A and B are shown apart, each in its own frame.
Chain A
Amino acid sequence: MSEIKSIERDPLYVVSPSIISQKSKRSGVILVRSTFILMITIALIQGLYSFEKIDFGFSNWRPLLYAYILWAIAIGYSRVLIYGEKGKRILFVFPAVMFIISIVVFPLLFGLYISFTDWNLSSLDGKKFNGLDNFYQMLSDPYYWNAMKNMVYYILAVLVEFAIAFLLAILLNSQIRGRKFFRVSFLIPLMLSPVAVSWMIGKSMLEQRFGPVAGLARTLGWETPTFYSTPELARLTMMCMDAWTFIPLMIIMLLAGLQALPKEVLEAAKVDGANKWMMFKSIIFPIMLPVSLTTLVIRIIFKLKLADIIMIVTAGGPGGATDSVTSFIVREYRDRSNVGYGTLLSFVYLIIIVIFMTILIRFVNRWLQRES
């Protein structure tokens, strides 16, 4: 019994005598209830007004938002009134939880509803529930699965990025002069907005008539340096541009890991006469495994959101060869106004991501446990 208690005990644990009066408890409850009633009243009025049942109301739903915020604050404050010192602890986590629930969970539920409707902005009928029709349409949509397939390629490219980043991190960690200069210049691509990168590299440097990269390619013997003409080439170009922006992130994370390596082990290996490759293979790489896997997971998370560069530079072309799922869905919204269907696609993508990430993280954890 005492053991369970010590587990349950807070890391920061102090006995605080707090006597909470009945009056304070009661006022806490009243506070929450009254603000809740206020919120419901406003929602009711506005709801009736928007269905034209009554002829007074607000011009938009904003007042409901204010009432909601008031209610959230009242809940927070009532924790202190009701639970005293213990309530103050809840207040640390409460605002963030409340914030995420309001801005993520509600829209997600609403989105779930949209995704089962045939809502199209260009049709005049408004939205109508259409069951699993969107889902069947998705199953036979070659462009969506093509975008999925592209995502697999894009994610596999992370391994190449990782190899480059690892090499550069090791070089940065070796005995060199001007490390600060190299570190700053390696960091800079990460600072640049994907929008700027799209123009700087995608639109101007790769421009086939007078871009410098095209010029270089021409001197190397490639007669017509067009970087977006064939599907494979266009995809490769996208991968390179995305890699260019995100390799710095991986370098920095890996460098932090390298700097935390135990010096004694490395010295001992050197004394034993291990050469560089052996040291890397049997000491550095195994010790770096946790950091490497964290880096890869983070990078993959960012990769799954890849869209900006594609939307701006190729808009998915040629023939959908560079489409990421996000950029494809955006075109579904923007060009075809197919809101219901697009939302279903995004939800399916979310589900696939969640499953993929769960498996990946579980796999990573198991691997780490086996190693240690």
Chain B
Amino acid sequence: MVTKRIMMKNNIIEKVLIYGILLFWTFICLFPIYWTATTSFKTAASVTQGLLIPWVDFEPSWKGWKHLGLSPDSIFTESTGREEFLARFTNTAIISSCASALAIILGSLAAYGLSRFNYKFGFMRNPDISFFFLSQLILPPVVLALPLLVLYKELSLLDTHIGMILLYTLTVLPIVIWIMRDQFNAVPIELEEAALVDGASVWVSFYKIVLPIVLPGIASAFILCLILCWNEYFLAALITSTDAKTMPVMVASQISSQSIRWWTMAAVSAALCLPLIIIAIFLERYIVKGMAAGAVKQ
């Protein structure tokens, strides 16, 4: 009886400890977002006093969002802030989705080939080719930065969507190949063999049989690529100036300028993060699957 009670007590302590740590970490993860979201509705007075809770501590105001032209009183009027913001937003959306799509196409084709056929390019066999692809992940962007800048200038690809798409495709391609190789390896070869015996070509059997099976894997890889491209700053700061400027570059340039106020900065940062937070909440399953694919070998 006594031992049982002690065990029960231990159990409760353990539970409290577990939930305590988990809630503490949740707080650490979410507080910066809460802080940014509330700061975007603050005025100068409530910022300097470090007030935390809207309606209780301070009265929310639309000042921060007004700069972006997204507050209720400015949304139907002309606003250069909103035009700028929307232009950057569309740039980021176009560049990151096109780059992810291109990386998915190139990457899944290569991953499928590597999982199904033996290649020989000179001295390179399949493991070497795989390593060649994955080694691109190690390459720090700074090494390519300047040579590409010069090359892009000569090809007049600087500050264009195409130029950015190509670069971003390069940065996420190894990740796609890494995820998709495991996906294809998990598909039983017999399915395709049957189709090939029936006279289909390899391309048809790939498109008609394998592709539908790995579609969830493709979705995870796509979302992961999208996240990485959306947040990329280093290369975008280098290549873009006006036409193809992305949101992180815009936000970064506003951080360093002194004239921008806290509430505006908070609104801009929140706007940069919001799409991805929504993706995280609704598509968490796919993101986790994509990241887990590399960790656990099937």
Interface of A toward B, CB cutoff 8 Å = 8-14, 16, 59-62, 64-65, 85, 88-93, 95-97, 99-100, 103-104, 106-108, 110-111, 114, 167-168, 171-172, 174, 176, 180-201, 203-205, 209-212, 215, 244, 248-249, 252-257, 260, 290-291, 294-295, 298, 301, 304-305, 307-308, 311-312, 325-326, 329-330, 333, 339, 342-343, 346-347, 349-350, 353-354, 357
A195-B252, A304-B138, A357-B138 are known contacts. Are A95 and B109 too (CB-CB below 8 A)? Answer: yes
In the assembled complex, the CB of B190 is this many whole angstroms from the nearest CB of chain A, namely: 10
Question: Are A97 and B129 within 8 A (Cβ)?
Answer: yes
Q: Pick the contact of B296 from A65, A114, A291 — CB < 8 Å?
A: A291
- The residue of chain B having its C-beta at the shortest distance from the C-beta of A181 within the complex is B26
Question: Are A193 and B155 within 8 A (Cβ)?
Answer: no
Q: Pick the contact of A301 from B106, B115, B133, B138 — CB < 8 Å?
A: B138
Question: Are B291 and A99 within 8 A (Cβ)?
Answer: no
A100-B170, A205-B32 are known contacts. Are A192 and B117 too (CB-CB below 8 A)? Answer: no
- The residue of chain B having its C-beta at the shortest distance from the C-beta of A61 within the complex is B154
Point out the residues of chain A lying under 8 angstroms from B297, CB to CB: 290
A8-B118, A193-B273, A257-B295 are known contacts. Are A88 and B203 too (CB-CB below 8 A)? Answer: yes
Q: Pick the contact of A88 from B173, B193, B201, B294 — CB < 8 Å?
A: B201
- The residue of chain A having its C-beta at the shortest distance from the C-beta of B290 within the complex is A252
List 12 contacting pairs A-B, 8 Å CB cutoff, sorted by A: A12-B196, A89-B113, A97-B129, A100-B173, A103-B166, A186-B26, A195-B233, A204-B36, A205-B32, A209-B48, A339-B146, A343-B147
Point out the residues of chain B lying under 8 angstroms from A89, CB to CB: 113, 116-117, 119, 202
The total of Cβ contacts below 8 Å across the A-B interface reads 301
Which 3 A-B pairs give the minimum distances between C-beta atoms? A92-B113, A256-B292, A193-B231
Interface of B toward A, CB cutoff 8 Å = 18-19, 21-22, 25-26, 28-33, 35-36, 39, 47-50, 52, 106-107, 109-110, 112-119, 121, 129, 132-133, 136-148, 150-151, 154-157, 166-167, 169-170, 173, 177, 189, 192-193, 196-197, 201-203, 206, 227, 230-231, 233-234, 247-248, 251-252, 255-256, 262, 265-266, 269, 272-273, 276-277, 279-281, 284, 287-288, 291-292, 294-297
In the assembled complex, the CB of A34 is this many whole angstroms from the nearest CB of chain B, namely: 23
Q: Pick the contact of A187 from B33, B233, B247, B280 — CB < 8 Å?
A: B280
In the assembled complex, the CB of B137 is this many whole angstroms from the nearest CB of chain A, namely: 6
Complex CA–CA separation, A196 to B36 (angstroms): 10
Question: Are A193 and B233 within 8 A (Cβ)?
Answer: yes
Question: Are A96 and B133 within 8 A (Cβ)?
Answer: yes
* A contact face: mostly helix, strand, loop, or mixed: helix
Question: Are B256 and A204 within 8 A (Cβ)?
Answer: no
Q: Pick the contact of B227 from A11, A191, A305 — CB < 8 Å?
A: A191
Point out the residues of chain B lying under 8 angstroms from A212, CB to CB: 31, 35, 50, 52
Question: Are A172 and B233 within 8 A (Cβ)?
Answer: no
Instruction: Given contacts A99-B173, A100-B132, A349-B142, list 20 more A-B pairs with CB under 8 A.
Output: A60-B155, A92-B117, A96-B106, A96-B107, A96-B177, A97-B121, A97-B132, A171-B22, A194-B248, A195-B231, A198-B252, A200-B33, A204-B262, A215-B50, A244-B32, A291-B296, A294-B295, A330-B142, A339-B146, A349-B140
